[in-house]
């Protein structure tokens, strides 16, 4: 192995080791309120018409992954909910879902 190849290999190994030790940013938690528009147990998602979610997302209707997927069993189209959205790496999901009376 020539000197240049050895240096490149050493630099790559140093970068890989540094990346392994890098800490992931903690997930953020946001309160959500909305109405269930669709439930897809096979995809483990619910389509929710939600109000503004903290500083993360404006009000809109979109599909959210739900964890744990047992939460889906209690949801029906038209239900009003309060929940927590977890935003981290990778992605986001909805959890701690409570069906609440219509406002």
Residue 18 domain flag? no
- Give the pLDDT confidence of 48-101 residue by residue, as tens digits: 999 999 999 999 999 999 999 899 999 999 999 999 999 998 899 999 999 999
Counting the structural domains of the chain, the total is: 1
How many helices (H) and strands (E) are present in the chain, helices listed first?
Answer: 1, 5
Residue 15 domain flag? no
Bigger pLDDT: 82 or 10? 82
Domain that holds residue 63: 28-100
Contact status, residue 80 vs residue 35, Cβ threshold 8 Å: yes
Integer CA distances (angstroms), 76 to 50, 56, 61, 66, 80, in order: 15, 25, 16, 14, 9
Residue 44 domain flag? yes
- CATH number at 64 reads 2.40.50.320
- Give the pLDDT confidence of 31-52 residue by residue, as tens digits: 999 999 999 999 999 999 999 9
The pair of structure tokens assigned to 9 is 């290999």
Calpha distance 51→32 (Å, rounded) = 7
């Amino acid at each position: 192995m020539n000197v240049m190849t050895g240096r490149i290999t050493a630099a790559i190994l140093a970068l890989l080791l540094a990346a392994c030790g890098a800490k992931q940013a903690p997930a953020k938690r946001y309160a959500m309120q909305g109405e269930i528009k669709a439930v897809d147990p096979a995809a483990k998602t619910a389509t929710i018409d939600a109000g503004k979610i903290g500083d993360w997302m404006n009000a809109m209707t979109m599909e959210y992954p739900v964890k744990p997927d047992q939460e889906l069993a209690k949801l029906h189209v038209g239900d009003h909910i309060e929940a927590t959205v977890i935003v981290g790496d990778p992605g986001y999901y909805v959890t701690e879902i409570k069906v609440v009376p219509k406002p």
